[in-house]
Structures are given as structure tokens and as C-alpha cells.
Amino acid sequence: MYETIGLWVAAILTLAVFSFLYKENPLYRFAEHVVVGSSLGYTIVITYQRVLYPRLVEPVFLHGESLVLIVPAMLGLLYVTRFFPRIAWLSRYPMAFLLGMGMGMAFPYDMQAYILRQIQATLIPLYTPGAPWYNTVGAVVIVLGTLAGLIYFFFSKPHKGPFFGFGSKVGIWIIMIGFGATFGFTVMGRISLLIGRVQFLLSDWLGLLH
């Protein structure tokens, strides 16, 4: 019985979300609020069970150990001051701490992933003895495309002449191809989600597909 009720609830909420394709309506807003509210409630429970209780409540309040954890706990409580206008300025301290720590921890990883790895990917041999010809063509395209994209963003010199002028134009095409591939990948992911929902409605709910 519970599976049947859950199936009908999921189908009704799915149709309510799809109703936005016609226009915004109370049914869609209800489904939106249900998704946001249930996600927030689930996140709060999981955060308490997997983070707050084992890493704060249990070691500090039950065992009396790791009292230093009271400091980050107090910083976390300062977020609640956002709901009180007179002391809302206190929430800036945990925000500043979180942003500073996050940037400090993420910077070396982002440097490695988005800069050093990209540079390493272009430092490849253009020709490898015994390799198929298309490997050489691909290596040349990668190197020249990267250089053309960098030339387009080089604004210290006018984009004129055979080198900077032609290179910047090629760089525009390379960038547009990259943006198009990224957009196509995003659309493909959204279409996959749509197909999954349609299959759920036709197969699991209505039983029209087997």
C-alpha cells in the first residue's frame, strides 16, 4: 500500500511540475514548495545525524572531550543572527571565516585542476612514431586551438595582422565550439532527465511500457 501511495504522489508531483510548461499555476507552486521543503528537511536531518551529533554533540556534551569544537559550534550559531535585524551583522564573521577557509583550501586544487592540468594537456608531442595519423592531427588541433584561444584574450596588442588578427578569429571559433559542446552536453543531460520522468509516468505509473 505504501508503495502505491508513494507512486501516486510521485506521479502527481511530476505532472504538477510539467504543468509549468503551460503557465505558472498554483499546482506548480505547490509542487515546488514541497520539493524545496522536503529537501531542506531531509538535509537538516542528515546534517544532524551525520555531522552535528557524531562530531559535536557526542564528543563534547556526552563525553566531555574535544572542547575546542565549541568554537566552530559558536561560529555556526552566529548564522542564526541573520533572522534578527539588530544583531544580523554578527553573521558576517562565520561567513568571512567560511569564505576565507574555502578559498584557501580550494585554491591549490583549482590551480591544479583548471590551470596546471590544462597546461599539461597541451604539452604533448605533435608526432609519435608508429602512431596513427589522426593522433598527430588531433595533437596539432589541440595545440593550435589553445594558442588561438589565448591570442583572443591577449588584449595588450591590437588583433590585426596575419598572426594576431587571424589567430584571434580562429580563437573565437574555438571558444564558440567549446561553448556549444558544453551547452549540448547540458541539454543532453536535461533531455535524459525528461526521458526518465516520461518513462516513469508511462511505465511505473500507467503500466503502458514493459
194/18 Cα distance (integer angstroms): 10
Quick check: is 185 in a domain? yes
pLDDT at 209 (0 to 100): 79
Quick check: is 53 in a domain? no
| Count of structural domains within the chain | 1
Give yes or no for residue 210 having a pLDDT over 80.
no
pLDDT at 114 (0 to 100): 86
Kindly give, in sequence order, each residue whose CB lies less than 8 Å from that of residue 127, ignoring residues fewer than 6 positions away: 136, 139
Quick check: is 189 in a domain? yes
Quick check: is 162 in a domain? yes
Which range marks the domain in which residue 172 is found? 124-210
Quick check: is 27 in a domain? no
Quick check: is 139 in a domain? yes
Nearest to 36 by CA among 20, 53, 17, 23: 17
Quick check: is 55 in a domain? no
76/96 Cα distance (integer angstroms): 12
73/84 Cα distance (integer angstroms): 19
In angstroms, what is the C-alpha Rg of the chain? 27
pLDDT at 104 (0 to 100): 94
Q: How far is CA 153 from CA 110, 122, 147, 149, in A?
A: 20, 17, 10, 7
Quick check: is 26 in a domain? no
Provide the 10 A C-beta neighbour count for residue 42.
10
pLDDT at 187 (0 to 100): 96
List, for residues 115-140, the tens digit of each pLDDT value: 898 888 888 888 888 889 999 999 99
**Predicted TM-score (pTM) of this structure:** 0.69
